[in-house]
Amino acid sequence: MRSGLGAVWANPYVRIVVALLATVAAYFILRLTMTVWTTVIVAFLIAYLLSPLVTRMERRGVHRGIGVLSATLVFLVMVASLWLLGTAIAAQITTFAERLPGIIDTLEEIPFLLGRLLDPSFGAIFQQVYMTSRVLAQGLATEILPNVAGVGQGGLTGVITTVTGLGMQLVIIFVLSLYLLYRYSVYSKSLLLAFPARHRAFVAELAEKADRSVGGYIRGQLLISAAVAVLAGIGLTLLGVPLAIPLAVLAGVFNVVPFFGPIVVSIPTVIMGLTLGFGQAVGALAVLFLVNQVDAHILTPLIYSRTIELDPVTIVVSILLGLTLFGLVGALLAVPIAAFVKLLYLDYYLKSRWYTVEEVRAPERHPGP
């Protein structure tokens, strides 16, 4: 029986068919259980991000259980802050929707003001700009903002339904992340045991380097983005710019994309500033510039002092490749992945025997006299 099965398995076409069937089965199983794996992955990410805080407290003599509770409180404070932030954003959007007709009138005057500066005769191009801006403003007023503002008014039933549907999953994620965080080292060692014994030292070293480059970058970028959002929110609020808090959140989110992020955020910020006047638009742009200077010269060097540095060309090329291949998610992850690839290049490729050992050439034979 075994010899017959062995003979069948020796056929390469049988192995190919079995591999294809296993792949198809794994795809459908993964598709059916995607919610479960999403829950596990999110819980693991929460535990992974909080693990350094618990480990640092444990090294200072604090019991790991107390460290987990402290990290959990920090996480809950962050979640509550995000909830309050979302409430503030919804309130500002509602207020903005109410002020929108007057703001549209102001925005519609901008093409004429530019036209007077550039061409007093008001050519066809300025008329086209006016019509385009009017269509965009009317679309904003009639399609987008009423639906967003309706979340806090007529869409209450939909919000309750959504929250109820996600509530149980959030509770499971929270409880699962607590277990993972409390026994993080145990689960890490269990994952390491899945690799053959002869490769475990290399896998552990590689995982440590990945944590230092990719994990360190993600944790640091979260801190920097939060600081950028707070600073931008304070500055824009003091200027009275409409939608100051949503714009500040955008500044923090897009800050994870070097070079391009600040440019993307500056466009809607300047437009909102122009609704108050040219001076407020310049002031809003100055706030973003100052915040980015604080980020570049104080926050980033302070937080990333122990990580691998990347030159600007590498960063730009990595972001463009990530954006082209995987969209916004690829652009967000491009820089930490590039840092990890550089680490592999420096620590493994340049130190490998294949790279360092020179080619041994056979001695040349000279013909006799």
Q: Tens of pLDDT along 80-100?
A: 887 777 777 777 777 776 666
Tokens of 54: 């618990």
**Cβ within 8 Å of residue 47, ≥6 positions away:** 177, 180, 181, 184
Range of the domain at 96: 33-188
Q: Name, in order, each residue with C-beta under 8 angstroms of 89's C-beta and a sequence gap of 6 or more.
A: 245, 246, 249
**Residue 127 and residue 271 in one domain:** no
> Are residues 100 and 67 part of one domain?
yes
Are 178 and 219 within one domain? no
Question: Into how many domains does the chain fold?
Answer: 2
Q: Quick one: 101 and 168 in the same domain?
A: yes
The pLDDT value recorded for residue 2 is 60
Tell me the C-alpha distance between 357 and 364, whole Å. Answer: 20
User: Residue for token digits 């230092």?
Assistant: 212
pLDDT < 70 stretches in the chain: 1-9, 97-167, 304-309, 358-369
Query: Residue 275's pLDDT is what?
Result: 75
3-class secondary structure, 222: helix
Based on the fold, state whether residues 281 and 180 are members of the same structural domain. Answer: no
Q: How far apart are CA 284 and CA 264, in angstroms?
A: 14
pLDDT at 290: 92
Question: Hey, what are 34's tokens?
Answer: 């995607």
Q: What confidence score (pLDDT) does residue 67 get?
A: 85
Residue with tokens 């994309």: 257
Is the whole model's pTM more than 0.75, yes or no?
no
Do 74 and 156 reside in the same domain of the chain? yes
**Same domain assignment for residues 204 and 324:** yes
Angle CA(213)–CA(215)–CA(218) in degrees, nearest 5? 105
Please indicate, yes or no, whether residues 153 and 295 belong to a single structural domain of this protein.
no
Answer yes or no: do 79 and 40 share one domain: yes
Q: What is the DSSP letter of 198?
A: G
Q: Distance between CA atoms of 211 and 306, rounded to whole angstroms?
A: 12
Q: Is residue 7 part of a domain?
A: no
